[in-house]
């Protein structure tokens, strides 16, 4: 009987530990996915073809952000990020790109978020303490994207163009997955950790005990 009780208790503790780890992974994935969602809406506001009146404003920490209210856009981003959230939770996502394409399906501008490293082993001890600092670094990256000196030039370049918004991703290893999208198929590439030369940093590297992220911008005049 004693042995049976011991096994039962041990199983219970393991179960709690697994649930706790899953909860912490979920919390980190929530934070990163929220950041990616704001990146999407910021790209749409600055470089997309939607009118300013189709955007609402909201607070994200110490900064104001714009969110597109068009249902088609909201559905597309929401559906895509549900899948992205799972990939982040299980440390599968390597690259996430919010892209603006012209009528010839050419990427004329993109913001690329590269997840260099995720330290889930530290989650239990530092998630609470690191969360505020990580969000502050996310805010700085978004603010840099909002205020980039290239914005007006890009808007002028797009003024007479038909453009559309699209999300691209890369996974670690040889996994190739597809996100739900509105029309057609994504072009998928295997994970490549080398940063392309025509991508330039957008703000400082996001570096915490939990995750390391680099945000990059590529503009139309460099394509």
Q: Degrees (nearest 5) of the Cα angle 30, 33, 199?
A: 150
Q: Global pTM?
A: 0.74
Give the residue, 128 or 64, on which the prediction is more confident: 64
Q: Identify the pLDDT of residue 76.
A: 92
Residue 220 scores a pLDDT above 80 = no
Mean pLDDT for the stretch of residues 103-111: 83
Mean pLDDT for the stretch of residues 185-202: 44
Mean pLDDT for the stretch of residues 103-115: 84
Please tell me the least confidently modeled range out of 7-21, 95-109, 118-132, 153-167. 7-21
Mean pLDDT for all residues in the chain = 72
Q: Identify the pLDDT of residue 204.
A: 61
Give the Cα separation of 23 and 10 in Å (integer): 20
Please tell me the least confidently modeled range out of 42-56, 110-124, 155-169, 181-195. 181-195
- In percent, the amount of the chain with pLDDT more than 70 equals 60
Tell me the pLDDT tens digit for each residue of 68-104: 999 999 999 999 999 999 999 988 888 899 988 888 8
Q: Identify the pLDDT of residue 64.
A: 93
Mean pLDDT for the stretch of residues 104-114: 84
Q: Identify the pLDDT of residue 8.
A: 29
User: Which stretch, 64-78, 100-114, 207-221, has highest mean pLDDT?
Assistant: 64-78
Give the Cα separation of 77 and 181 in Å (integer): 9
**Residue 40: band (very low, low, confident or very high) from pLDDT cuts 50, 70, 90:** very high
Give the DSSP per-residue string, 2-59. HHHHHHHHHHHHHHHHHHHHHHHHHHHHHHHHHHHHHHHHHHHHHHSSS-GGGEEEEE
Give the residue, 185 or 97, on which the prediction is more confident: 97
Give the residue, 184 or 143, on which the prediction is more confident: 143
Catalogue all structural domains in the chain, each as residue range(s) with its CATH number.
2-222 (3.30.900.10)
Written as six digits, the tokens of 211 are 């995750």
């Amino acid at each position: 009987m004693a042995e049976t009780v011991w096994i039962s208790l041990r199983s219970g503790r393991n179960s709690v530990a697994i649930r706790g780890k899953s909860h912490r992974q979920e919390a980190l994935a929530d934070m990163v996915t929220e950041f990616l969602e704001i990146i999407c809406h910021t790209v749409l506001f600055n470089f997309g073809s939607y009118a300013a009146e189709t955007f609402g404003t909201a607070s994200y920490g110490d900064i104001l952000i714009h969110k597109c209210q068009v249902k088609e856009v909201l559905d597309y981003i929401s559906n895509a990020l549900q899948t992205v959230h799972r990939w982040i939770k299980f440390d599968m996502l390597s690259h996430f790109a919010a892209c603006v394409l012209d009528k010839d399906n050419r990427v004329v501008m993109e913001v690329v978020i590269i997840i260099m490293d995720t330290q889930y082993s530290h989650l239990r001890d530092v998630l609470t303490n690191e969360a505020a600092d990580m969000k502050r670094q996310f805010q700085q990256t978004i603010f840099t994207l909002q205020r980039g000196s290239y914005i007006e030039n890009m808007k002028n370049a797009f003024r007479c163009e038909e453009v559309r918004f699209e999300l691209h991703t890369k996974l670690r290893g040889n996994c190739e997955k597809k996100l739900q999208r509105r029309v057609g198929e994504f072009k998928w590439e295997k994970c490549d950790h080398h940063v392309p030369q025509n991508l330039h940093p957008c703000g400082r590297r996001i570096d915490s005990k939990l995750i390391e992220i680099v945000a990059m911008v590529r503009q139309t005049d460099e394509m």
